[in-house]
Structure 1
Amino acid sequence: MKRPNIVLIMTDQHRFDALGCYGNTVIETPNLDSLAQEGTVFASAYSSTPSCVPARTSLLTGMDPWHTGILGTGKGQGKMGGNFKHTLPGELSKSGYCTLGVGKMNFNPQRALNGFHQTSLDESGRVESPGFVSDYAAWFERNKTGDYGPVDHGVDWNSWMSRPFHAPEFLHPVNWTINESIRLLEKRDPTAPFFLKTSFSRPHSPYDPVPYYFDLYREKSLPAPCIGEWAGMHDQPDEAHSPNAWRGKRKNEEVLRARAGYYGLVNQIDQQIGRLFSYLRHIGAWENTVIVFTSDHGDMLGDHHLWRKTYAYEGSAHIPLIVRLPKSMRQAKAIPGRIHNPVCLQDIMPTILDSAGLPVPAVVDGSSMLPLLRGETAAWREFVHGEHSWCYSEEQEMQYVTDGRWKYIWFPRLGTEQLFDLGIDRGECRDLSGDPRYTGELAAWRERLIQVLEPRNAGLTEGSRLVCQAGQPPLVSPHYKLRTEPANVQL
C-alpha cells in the first residue's frame, strides 16, 4: 500500500475551547471545523508540561517529561537540544520520508535539525544561538515597505495587551508560515512521501492579528473569563501593573481586548490553513495524507486572574487535537467523530509512525491512538499525568492528574491541593477539595498521583502521602543530566 503523506499542524498557546468544533459558537474556524468533520476530535487531550519547550520536546520524542529531562520552563530546566536518538522527523527520515519543518521549533542550537531534512524558522524574536537570524526575520527585512520591525506595535512576546498588526498583512508571521510551507512542498523530492510540520508562532502573544480579524472580534460579544471562588489568591495589584504580568486582575475592557486579539489570530490562522489544504488538493495529495492538528499548550486569557501558561487549569493544559486519516483508512472502518479517552502530546509520535506502518522506538512513552481512531475497544490509560516546575513563581509549581472528567492538582511548594468536577464545572470555578462530600474522590485521585511519583524516589512522596517541597531545591529529572553529558547524548 502506498505510504501516506503526513502533515502536522501546530499552533502555539492555543486553548482547546478556541475552536468551533470544540463548542465555541463565537469564533470562526471553518477550515479546522471541516477537518474535524472528516476526522476525529479528541475531547480530552492534554499537555503534560504546558509550556513551549517541554511540551514540544515530548511531542518530538514521544517521551514523558521525566524521561526527556525537561519538566518545565524555569528553575533547573534546560533547552531542547539536538541530541535525542529517536525523534518523529528522524524516524520518518530514516524510513524514506522527505521531512520539512516550518515555523517555531524551539530547538537548541536553533539550527539543529533533530531529524528534519530542512527547516525554515520563525522563533518569535528569540536569539539563543550566536549570530542566529530566523528565516522569517530575514524575509521580513527584505520585504518590508518602510522603516519598521516585526514588533514595532509595542506589544511584547508575553504581554496580555492587544492591538492590530502594524505592517501590511502579507508580512504577518501567520501568513509567512503558510507561504513557506507551500514553498518547501513545491521544492520537495516528489519521489518520496513527505512529512510537513507547519508550526505557527501564534496565537501566542503578542495578540496582534491583522486589522480585519481584530475588528471582527472587537464587534462580537466574547466569552468572559472564568473566575473561581478560590481565585482571589491571584488578584495581586502589585503584580498586575506590569504589561507582561503573569497574574492579576485587569479591567474588563482590557481582558476582552486581549480575547479579541487572540480570537482574531485563531481566525487568521484558520484562514491561512485553508490555503494549505487547497494546495494539498491541488497537487492530488489530500486523500492520501494524515493530518494532525494540535497545540503545545493553552492560554489562560484572564481566567482566574491568570495569563499565559504553565498551569494545570483547563485554559493552560487542555489542548485541541484533531486527527484526520487518509481516505483509504477512513473507509476501512467507521471512524468515531469524537473520542473522550485521555490523550497527550506523547501519543502523537507513535500514532503517526503507526499510521505510516513504521515501528515505534522502545523509548517512546506515548501510545498510538490508531486503535481508538478505528473504534477498537483496546485497553487505554485511565488518566493523564502532567507537571510543571516553578517558572513565574515557586507557588505555581504543580502536578496534576485528569481523565477529562475529574482533575486533581497538587502544588508541591505550597503543600495544597484542588479537585474539580469538569463534567459540571469546566471552568474550574468550584474547588471541591475541602468539601467533605468528596473526601473519597479526593483521596482516590491523590493516590493516583502518588502512584505516578513514587517510583521516581525524588522526595515527593512518603508512603501514602505527598511531601511538601517548600524550601527544597528545584525538582530536576536525572534524565536531564544524563542526556546532556557528552557520553550520553543519544538517548
Structure 2
Amino acid sequence: MSAKRPNVIWILGDQHRAQALGVNGDVNVRTPHIDNMAAMGLNFQRAVSGLPLCCPFRGSMLTGKYPHHCVPGHEIAMPEGPTIANVFSDNGYRTAYIGKWHLDGHVANWGTETYHVVDRERRGGFQYWVGYDNNNSQWNCYVHGDCDLSSGHYVLDREGDPDNTPYRLDGFETDKLTDIMIDYIRAQSNEQNAVQPFFGILSVQPPHDPYFAPAEYRRHNRETIQFRPNVPDVPRIREEAGRDLAGYYAMIENLDFNVGRVVDALREENLLENTQIIFFGDHGDMHGSHGQFRKTNPYEESIRVPFIIGGHYVGETDYNCGVTDALINHVDIAPTTLGLCGITPPDWMEGFDYSFLRKRGLERQELPDSAYLQNIIPTCHWDSVDQPYRGIVTRDGYKYVTFESVPWLLFNLNEDPYEQVNLAYNSKFWELRKRLHDRLQRWIDETGDKFNLPQV
C-alpha cells in the first residue's frame, strides 16, 4: 500500500466562499468534518478564484491554463485538448468525474440545460463520467453518463447508457451525487483495482442559489445571522442577505455531512490512509457585503475560496499541517495535485505547483508574490460586474484592480480586511498604486493576456 501512488479526491461546491467555514472563523456555520480535514491537513486560507465565475474557473482547474487561454467566459465550451485526467491516465490512474460539469458551452434557455447531454468526447478525458452540464436545481437534478442509474443503484458501468438518457436523482443533489462517489470508492477497493490508484472528482451545485437545503439542516434564522462588518445597514440588503444566508449555511452543513460520508467510506474500504482529499470552491458569494450579491467582482467575499489539502495518510510525519498564506489560484490546482502524487506537471500547464508546502522533503521554492485576477467577458447577469477588469492580490497584503479606462480599487488588506477604505484615488498612496500597477502589467505580459491598462 505504501509503495503505491496516493489516490486523490477533489470535493468542490459551487459558490462556496472561503469565509463560510467554521475553521475559517464563521460563527454562523458548523462544519466539523471539513474542520477536521483542515486540522489534519494544510489550509490555504488565502486561496483565490482568479476569475470568480463557474465556467472559467472549472476550465482552469482542469487544464492549469488561464481563462484567456481556455474558458474566458460564461457558457463557453472548454476547448479540445488534454486535461489533468489525461495526465493521471497516462500515469496509471483510473479517473472519474461525478456531478456538475458546466464546460460544454450549452446556453441555458428555458430549462433546456436540465436535459442537455454532454457527449462522451466532451468529458475532459475522464474514464468514468456521471453528471450534467448545468441545472441550478438541486431538487430536480438529472444526470447522465457512465452509470446504470435506471435500476436505482449507482453501479458503475464502463459501457454506460448508450442513449445517455438523463436520469432524475431521487433526492437532494449533494446527497445523491455523494452516493455515486461512495459507490465509485467501493469499486476501487476490490481485488482487481487494488494496485491501481484513482483520481475522482465530486462536484456539487450547492451552496449555489437557490438556497434551499434538506429540512433537517434548516436550523438557521435570518433574524439571528451575524453579518460581516461590510454588509451595510440598509434594510433591503440585510433582508435579502439574511434570507439567502439562512439557506446557504444549511446547504454548507449538508455538504460538510457528505464530506464526512466520503471519509467514512474511504476508511471502511481501507483506502483512507492512501488518499489525498482536496476540498475547495469555484468562487465565492457576496451575500450583501458592500451591498453586492453573487460573484464576478474582485471583493474578498467573491474571490476567496476554501482550499484544504486534507488526509490521514501513511507516513503522516512526511506531511506538513497547519495554515499557509500561499495565494493558490485556479490555474495552480492541477499542477499542485499532480505534484502531490509525484507526477511532474506537463509544460502546457501554466500554474504553480504548491505541493512542496504539503509534502516534506520536496525542494522548497520561492512562492509567487501575487495572484492574477480577471473578468474577461462580463456575463451582464443581475448582480454582476458589467465591465472587464484586471487585478492582483499580493502576498504582502494589497489588492489592486483596474478597468481599461481608470483604476478602480486599491485596498490594504492588512489594516482593512473588509475593504472599506478604497485608496485608489488618494495621492498619498500614489507610489504604492504605481508599484502594483506595474506588477499587474507584468502579469498581463507574462500570461499573454490582452488588456489595456490606463495611464497612472
> Shared fold (TM-score greater than 0.5)?
yes
SS of the residue aligned with 1:134? strand
Provide Cα deviations, 1:399-448, integer angstroms capped at 9, x if missing partner.
Answer: 11002521111122x52321011122222121111223322211111111
Q: How does 1:358-369 map to 2 (within 5 A)?
A: 358-369=343-354
> By how many angstroms is 1:332 displaced?
2.1
Q: How does 1:318-333 map to 2 (within 5 A)?
A: 318-325=304-311, 327-328=313-314, 330-332=316-318
Provide Cα deviations, 1:217-273, integer angstroms capped at 9, x if missing partner.
Answer: 4474332462479xxxxx9xxxxxxxxxxxxx8352222010111111101110111
Closer/same/farther in 2, CA of residues 457 and 184 from structure 1, 3 Å limit: closer
Contact 2:238 2:288 in 1 (8 A): no
Contact 1:453 1:460 in 2 (8 A): no
* TM-score normalised by the chain length of structure 2: 0.82
Between Structure 1 and Structure 2, the one with more helix by share is 1
Partner of 1:181: 181
Matched, 1:355 2:340: yes
Contact 1:227 1:429 in 2 (8 A): no
* Distance (Å, rounded) in 1 between the aligned partners of 2:230 and 2:151: 43
* Distance (Å, rounded) in 2 between the aligned partners of 1:283 and 1:454: 49
Equivalent residue in structure 1 for 2:143, among 128, 134, 137: 134
* Distance (Å, rounded) in 2 between the aligned partners of 1:216 and 1:459: 44
Matched, 1:281 2:261: no
* Distance (Å, rounded) in 2 between the aligned partners of 1:90 and 1:302: 40
Amino acid at match of 1:73: H
When the two chains are superposed, the root-mean-square deviation of aligned CA atoms in Å is 2.9
Closer/same/farther in 2, CA of residues 10 and 434 from structure 1, 3 Å limit: same
Contact 1:89 1:116 in 2 (8 A): yes
> By how many angstroms is 1:46 displaced?
0.4
* Distance (Å, rounded) in 2 between the aligned partners of 1:224 and 1:141: 45
Closer/same/farther in 2, CA of residues 24 and 301 from structure 1, 3 Å limit: same
> By how many angstroms is 1:139 displaced?
10
Amino acid at match of 1:177: L
Count of residues in Structure 1 that have an aligned counterpart in Structure 2: 408
* Distance (Å, rounded) in 2 between the aligned partners of 1:254 and 1:141: 39
* Distance (Å, rounded) in 2 between the aligned partners of 1:425 and 1:141: 54
Equivalent residue in structure 2 for 1:271, among 240, 254, 257: 257
Partner of 1:262: 248
Contact 1:43 1:338 in 2 (8 A): yes
Contact 1:354 1:368 in 2 (8 A): yes
Q: Which deviates more, 277-286 or 106-115?
A: 106-115
Contact 1:12 1:296 in 2 (8 A): yes
Partner of 2:373: 386
Question: 5+ unaligned residues in a row in structure 2: which ranges?
Answer: 106-117, 153-168
Partner of 1:408: 400
Contact 2:225 2:245 in 1 (8 A): no
Question: 5+ unaligned residues in a row in structure 1: which ranges?
Answer: 144-168, 230-234, 236-248, 467-491
> By how many angstroms is 1:24 displaced?
1.3
Equivalent residue in structure 1 for 2:419, among 403, 428, 451: 428
> By how many angstroms is 1:280 displaced?
0.5
* Distance (Å, rounded) in 1 between the aligned partners of 2:212 and 2:52: 22
* Distance (Å, rounded) in 2 between the aligned partners of 1:53 and 1:84: 16
Contact 1:453 1:461 in 2 (8 A): no
Share of identical aligned residues, percent? 27
Partner of 1:146: none
Contact 1:53 1:106 in 2 (8 A): yes
Partner of 1:478: none
Closer/same/farther in 2, CA of residues 445 and 176 from structure 1, 3 Å limit: same
Q: How does 1:437-456 map to 2 (within 5 A)?
A: 437-454=428-445, 456=448
SS of the residue aligned with 1:63? coil
Closer/same/farther in 2, CA of residues 56 and 321 from structure 1, 3 Å limit: same
Equivalent residue in structure 2 for 1:21, among 23, 26, 30: 23
SS of the residue aligned with 2:12? strand
* Distance (Å, rounded) in 1 between the aligned partners of 2:449 and 2:295: 28
Structure 1 residue runs of 4 or more that deviate by more than 6 Å after TM superposition: 138-143
SS of the residue aligned with 1:36? helix
Amino acid at match of 1:410: T
> By how many angstroms is 1:209 displaced?
0.7
* Distance (Å, rounded) in 2 between the aligned partners of 1:211 and 1:325: 30
* Distance (Å, rounded) in 2 between the aligned partners of 1:330 and 1:444: 42
Contact 1:47 1:296 in 2 (8 A): yes
Closer/same/farther in 2, CA of residues 172 and 459 from structure 1, 3 Å limit: closer
Closer/same/farther in 2, CA of residues 119 and 228 from structure 1, 3 Å limit: same
SS of the residue aligned with 2:264? helix
* Distance (Å, rounded) in 1 between the aligned partners of 2:449 and 2:211: 42
SS of the residue aligned with 1:385? strand
Contact 1:28 1:267 in 2 (8 A): yes
Contact 1:395 1:411 in 2 (8 A): no
Provide Cα deviations, 1:88-132, integer angstroms capped at 9, x if missing partner.
Answer: 1111112211111111112327232212111111444289xxxx9
Contact 2:63 2:84 in 1 (8 A): yes
Contact 1:11 1:294 in 2 (8 A): yes
* Distance (Å, rounded) in 2 between the aligned partners of 1:344 and 1:24: 22
* Distance (Å, rounded) in 2 between the aligned partners of 1:44 and 1:182: 30
* TM-score normalised by the chain length of structure 1: 0.77
> By how many angstroms is 1:134 displaced?
2.5
* Distance (Å, rounded) in 2 between the aligned partners of 1:454 and 1:107: 27
Amino acid at match of 1:182: I
Closer/same/farther in 2, CA of residues 346 and 251 from structure 1, 3 Å limit: closer
SS of the residue aligned with 2:218? helix
